[in-house]
């Protein structure tokens, strides 16, 4: 008896918490997605990769700009010199100093490199586009994960409301059974059975609320919010895309699927790799120029007086380099690049075939779940009618508490099954939209 009272008190506290939560701001799907786009770590890292690719495809990394270097140096010599002429006295000089200084500015520019630089620049552009598609794939996966968790919160929230209704009905049944027992209209067994059902309903409600709290924490991780923040509600509204619109998305799936678009970029990159390798057959023409300044001071010797010399001036030149034979390295690179390109073509055919299968499976799952949803809606209506009639008959004493409890359980199962079918159908639709490349283009 004491355990039953404690359970009812705990459930009452949870119910009060639910009423308070209703007054809190509802976290809409749009708000949750905006938070994920702003805070999710996986999306942040994907955006950083895009930024790196953007830097790589800029003019500063193209090889089209010249290189300018500055050089400077200084030298100091301290020597002892002994000069012994064939005739005359030897000359011994100690501490002979000489200095030299130099500075220059040098410019080097590759005028032509066999078009390798040109194709590499185009390849970097394709790699930048590829990184954006990879970021889009990360966003799509995160969005699908986020909405799956979001709708799970919505399902559990509705289940909590259903269980609260069930518990209230069970508590009313306890009160009614107690009155009947007090006035001698029934035995104590009816009261005990009613209390057992209240305890079971209380446990179910507590467990469901715990699952709800855990799922809210999962959502907080995805949007980088305070983990323990569970004082929020979600929007339980579910709408489905019209059939004709969905069929149009499916018809255009191969042109919009992010995996196939990435393979198209990889094909373009491997095509440029072939051309880059072929540039090894052509010569390289380099331009160079410099401005230099030199200063030298030398000490006097036995035969020459000391001197200072300063020179400055500009110089320039053109050089041509042509590997007439590089041992076959360029030929091997071209062959390997062509094989890689062929593998990319085969991979695209394989992936396209798999995506067509996945879309067919996803469409089948979606249609089946929509059918289950319609069946569950009819099932709820039938069980609701059966429960109301059973409740009337129970109040009139024409059916037993066991029969009434069975009608109550049947309605509970029907309502929770309807919630599951509704959100399962929505998630199936989202999975289909991701495969068609439209997940980021629809209004939720």
Return the SS3 of 285: strand
**pLDDT score, position 347:** 97
DSSP 25: P
pLDDT at residue 4, rounded to an integer: 39
For residue 284, is it left (φ>0), alpha (ψ between -120 and 50) or beta?
beta
**In this predicted structure, what is the pLDDT of residue 432?**
97
* pLDDT at residue number 255: 95
Work out the widest C-alpha separation in the chain, in whole angstroms.
152
Query: What pLDDT is stored for residue 1 in this prediction?
Result: 39
- Which two tokens mark 364? 């089948």
10-residue stretch averages of pLDDT, the chain, 444 residues long: 38 42 74 94 96 94 93 85 71 77 95 93 96 97 97 97 95 86 77 92 96 96 88 94 95 96 97 96 95 85 70 93 92 96 97 97 97 97 96 88 93 97 97 96 84
- Among residues 409, 404, 405, which one has the least CA distance to residue 389? 404
What's the pLDDT score for residue 17?
Answer: 45
**pLDDT attached to residue 400:** 86
430-257-36 Cα angle (round to 5): 50
* Predicted local confidence at residue 98, as pLDDT: 82
Parallel, antiparallel, or unpaired for β 26-27 and 91-112?
unpaired
What per-residue confidence (pLDDT) applies to 189?
A: 84
């Amino acid at each position: 008896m004491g355990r039953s009272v404690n359970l009812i008190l705990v459930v009452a506290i949870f119910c009060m918490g639910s009423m308070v939560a209703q007054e809190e701001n509802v976290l809409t799907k749009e708000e949750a997605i905006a938070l994920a786009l702003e805070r999710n770590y996986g999306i942040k890292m994907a955006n950083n990769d895009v930024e790196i690719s953007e830097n790589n495809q800029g003019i500063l990394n193209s090889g089209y700009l010249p290189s300018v270097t500055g050089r400077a140096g200084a030298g100091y010599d301290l020597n002892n010199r002994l000069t012994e002429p064939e005739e005359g006295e030897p000359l011994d000089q100690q501490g002979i100093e000489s200095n030299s200084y130099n500075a220059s500015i040098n410019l080097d520019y590759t005028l032509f490199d066999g078009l390798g630089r040109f194709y590499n620049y185009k390849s970097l552009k394709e790699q930048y586009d590829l990184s954006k598609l990879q970021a889009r794939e990360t966003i799509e996966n995160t969005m699908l994960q986020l909405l799956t968790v979001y709708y799970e919160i919505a399902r559990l929230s509705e289940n909590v409301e259903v269980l609260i209704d069930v518990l209230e009905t069970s508590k009313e049944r306890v009160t009614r059974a107690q009155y009947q027992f007090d006035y001698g209209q029934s035995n104590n067994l009816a009261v005990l059975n009613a209390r057992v059902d209240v305890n079971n309903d209380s446990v179910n409600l507590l467990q469901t609320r715990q699952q709800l709290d855990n799922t809210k924490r999962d959502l907080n991780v995805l949007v980088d919010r305070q983990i323990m923040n569970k004082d929020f509600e979600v929007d339980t509204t579910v709408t489905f895309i019209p059939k004709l619109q969905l069929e149009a998305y499916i018809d255009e799936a191969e042109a919009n699927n992010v995996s196939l678009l990435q393979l198209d970029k990889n094909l373009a990159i491997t095509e440029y790799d072939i051309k880059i390798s072929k540039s090894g057959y052509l010569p390289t023409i380099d331009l160079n120029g410099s401005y230099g300044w030199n200063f030298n001071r030398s000490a006097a010797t036995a035969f020459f007086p000391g001197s200072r010399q300063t020179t400055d001036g500009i110089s320039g030149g053109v050089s041509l380099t042509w590997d007439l034979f590089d041992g076959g390295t360029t030929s091997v690179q071209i062959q390997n690049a062509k094989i890689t390109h062929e593998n990319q073509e085969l991979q695209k055919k394989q992936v396209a075939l798999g995506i067509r299968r996945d879309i067919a499976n996803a469409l089948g799952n979606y249609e089946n779940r929509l059918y289950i949803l319609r069946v569950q809606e009819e099932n709820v209506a039938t069980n609701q009618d059966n429960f109301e009639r059973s409740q009337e008959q129970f109040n009139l004493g024409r059916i037993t508490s066991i029969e009434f409890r069975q009608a109550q359980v049947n309605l509970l199962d029907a309502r929770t099954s309807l919630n599951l079918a509704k959100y399962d159908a929505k998630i199936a639709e989202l999975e289909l939209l991701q495969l068609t490349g439209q997940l980021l283009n629809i209004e939720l």
